[in-house]
């Protein structure tokens, strides 16, 4: 039986959880090299790589910078491969080789510059993304990553949660040290930068990650609590009330360090309607002892003295995130609690539910010293 047929059956049976982007490097050495991505086979069978291709969107564009690069060969279950970028010859990869002592598995001519979106497709047979199935991505299409939570200029990104989310980028799955992480402490010394690059990045291996969930979810859209009979479908019992695009309801999660002296948190809200305006906010009290109160098409769960954490954000691809630090938060003391929630537009729900907005579940965070 042909391998391509077996792989196609595997993907049909197990959805999109087969090949994932697991590491990205934008090196600090001359020419911004080495630049590479790592892909991992997280399925239970060998994959025919000819089904898959990699594309790049530069500088906030909604179009690929060129035809997607088709992969080749096979990749066994649990194995990883490295694709070097900016190298024309499949046997060259000179900076990659001089850094790691091994040749990459593949090379592609497209470059990445720390603010570009990387996309992984299945069946991009036409040499473009038209008709192809997006199975994974890093970054948000149409957004320049400069200054964002996912910028990786002279840095790297490492996936911690190696599970498919069906294509949309979810920064909460990644360790994101921010721009300049591969130059830190080197003062421009190339030997220092090369040593740091070798020590920190990890081609062909799953390294430890530092993404840590914090807080506890409360106020789910279940048990008949939702105002329009729109309880979530139970596929994620911690989510809010269902919305016009996702029966599971919007799910808010918090990651990072809940330190009162040096807070560094990432708030991620999934399962929102495409292109919805999202407002993240915090409160000092849990509404109705944590059960929430009807508000629009959802439940208001965070109350008391409230504070909008940022200007409204346009959700992209059904998910959006916000990074916050001490400059975004009012002072708080160790042992105190904060309640986070996300409000979002849901205009398609207006006729059936009488509200043009909805809310996620809420997260309770206790601050450490």
pLDDT for 252-278, tens place per residue?
A: 988 877 878 878 788 888 889 988 899
| Residue 205 maps to a domain | no
Residue 349 scores a pLDDT above 70: no
Alpha carbon distance 292, 285 (integer Å): 11
Q: How far apart are CA 206 and CA 185, in angstroms?
A: 25
> Do residues 196 and 233 both lie within one domain?
no
CA distances from 220 to 24, 215, 227, 242, 298 (A): 35, 15, 13, 10, 10
State the total domains in the chain.
Answer: 2
Q: Is 218 helix (H, G, I), strand (E, B) or coil?
A: strand
Q: How far apart are CA 62 and CA 91, in angstroms?
A: 31
Instruction: Decide which of 136, 166, 200 is a domain's last residue.
Output: 200
Torsion angle (degrees, nearest 10) of CA 148, 149, 151, 152: 170
Q: Would you state the pLDDT for residue 264? A: 76
What percent of the chain is modeled with pLDDT above 90? 46
Same domain for 82 and 20, yes or no, is: yes
- Which pLDDT score, from 0 to 100, does residue 105 have? 95
- Lowest average pLDDT, out of 160-164, 257-261, 297-301, 359-363, goes to 160-164
Q: Are 36 and 180 within one domain?
A: yes
> Residue 278's pLDDT is what?
94
**Claim to verify: residue 168 and residue 288 sit in the same structural domain:** no
Instruction: Give Cα separations from 256 to 173, 263, 325, 362 (angstroms).
Output: 12, 8, 10, 16
Residue 164: predicted pLDDT: 56
Average pLDDT estimate for 48-53: 93
pLDDT exceeds cutoff 90 at 115: yes
Same-domain status, 121 and 223: no
Which of 13-22, 262-271, 279-288 is predicted most confidently? 279-288
- Both 12 and 155 in a single domain? yes
Q: Which domain holds residue 316?
A: 216-366
**Closest residue by Cα to residue 223 from 306, 288, 319:** 288
Mean pLDDT of 326-352: 84
pLDDT given for residue 23 in this prediction: 96
Question: In the prediction, which pLDDT does 166 show?
Answer: 57
Instruction: Report whether 151 contacts 114 (CB < 8 A).
Output: yes
Residue 208 lies in a domain: no
SS3 state of residue 20? strand
The mean pLDDT value for 233-246 works out to 91
Look at residue 171 in the predicted model and tell me its pLDDT. 76
* Angstrom distances, CA of residue 303 to CA of 282, 287, 340: 8, 6, 9
pLDDT value at 283 more than 50: yes
Asked whether residue 20 carries a pLDDT value surpassing 90, the answer given is yes
Is residue 132 domain-shared with residue 188, that is, in the same domain? yes
Residue 27 has pLDDT above 70, yes or no: yes
Q: Residue 133: inside a domain, yes or no?
A: yes
Cβ contact 213:254 at 8 Å = yes
pLDDT of residue 321: 82
Of the listed ranges 57-66, 80-89, 207-216, 233-242, the one predicted with least confidence: 207-216
pLDDT in the model for residue 10: 35
Mean pLDDT of the region 210-231: 87
Q: Quote the mean pLDDT of the chain.
A: 84
Mark whether 290 and 193 lie in a shared domain: no
Query: Omega into 6 within 30° of 0, i.e. cis?
Result: no
Q: Residue 190 domain-assigned?
A: yes
Give residue-wise pLDDT tens across range 58-105.
Answer: 998 988 988 999 999 999 999 999 999 985 544 445 789 889 999 999
Give backbone dihedrals phi and psi of 149, rounded to 5 degrees, phi first. -65, -20
Phi/psi for 354 (5° steps) reads: 80, 15
What confidence category does residue 161 fall into, taking pLDDT thresholds of 50, 70 and 90? low
- Alpha carbon 224 to chain centroid distance? 31
């Amino acid at each position: 039986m042909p391998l391509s047929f077996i792989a196609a059956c595997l993907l049909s049976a197990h959805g999109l959880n087969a090949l994932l982007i697991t590491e990205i490097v934008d090196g600090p050495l001359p020419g911004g090299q080495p630049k590479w991505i790592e892909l991992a086979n997280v399925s239970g069978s060998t994959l025919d790589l000819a089904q898959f291709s990699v594309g790049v969107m530069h500088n906030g564009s909604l179009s690929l910078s060129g035809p997607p690069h088709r992969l080749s060969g096979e990749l066994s279950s649990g194995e990883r491969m490295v694709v070097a970028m900016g190298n024309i010859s499949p046997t060259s990869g000179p900076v990659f080789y001089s850094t790691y002592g091994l040749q990459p598995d593949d090379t592609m001519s497209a470059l990445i510059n720390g603010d570009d979106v990387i996309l992984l497709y299945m069946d991009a047979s036409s040499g473009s993304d038209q008709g192809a199935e997006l199975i994974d991505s890093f970054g948000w299409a149409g957004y320049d990553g400069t200054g964002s939570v996912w910028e990786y200029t002279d840095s790297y990104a490492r996936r911690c949660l190696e599970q498919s989310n069906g294509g949309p980028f979810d920064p909460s799955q990644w360790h994101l040290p921010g721009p300049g992480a591969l130059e830190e402490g080197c003062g421009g010394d190339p030997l220092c930068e090369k040593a740091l690059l070798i020590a920190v990045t990890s081609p062909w291996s799953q390294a430890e990650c530092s993404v840590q969930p914090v807080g506890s979810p409360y106020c789910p859209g279940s048990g008949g609590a939702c105002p329009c009979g729109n309880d979530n479908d139970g596929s994620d019992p911690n989510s809010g009330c269902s919305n016009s695009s996702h029966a599971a309801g919007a799910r808010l999660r918090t990651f990072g360090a809940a330190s009162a002296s040096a807070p560094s948190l990432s708030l991620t809200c999934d399962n929102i309607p495409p292109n919805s305006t999202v407002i993240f906010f915090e409160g000092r009290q849990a509404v109705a002892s944590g059960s929430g109160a009807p508000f629009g098409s959802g439940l208001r769960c965070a109350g008391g003295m409230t504070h909008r954490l940022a200007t409204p954000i346009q959700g992209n691809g059904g998910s959006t995130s916000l990074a916050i630090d001490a400059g975004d938060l009012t002072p708080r003391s160790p042992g105190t609690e904060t309640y986070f929630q996300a409000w979002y537009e849901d205009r398609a729900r207006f006729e059936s539910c009488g509200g043009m907005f909805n809310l996620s579940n809420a997260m309770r965070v206790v601050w450490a010293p």
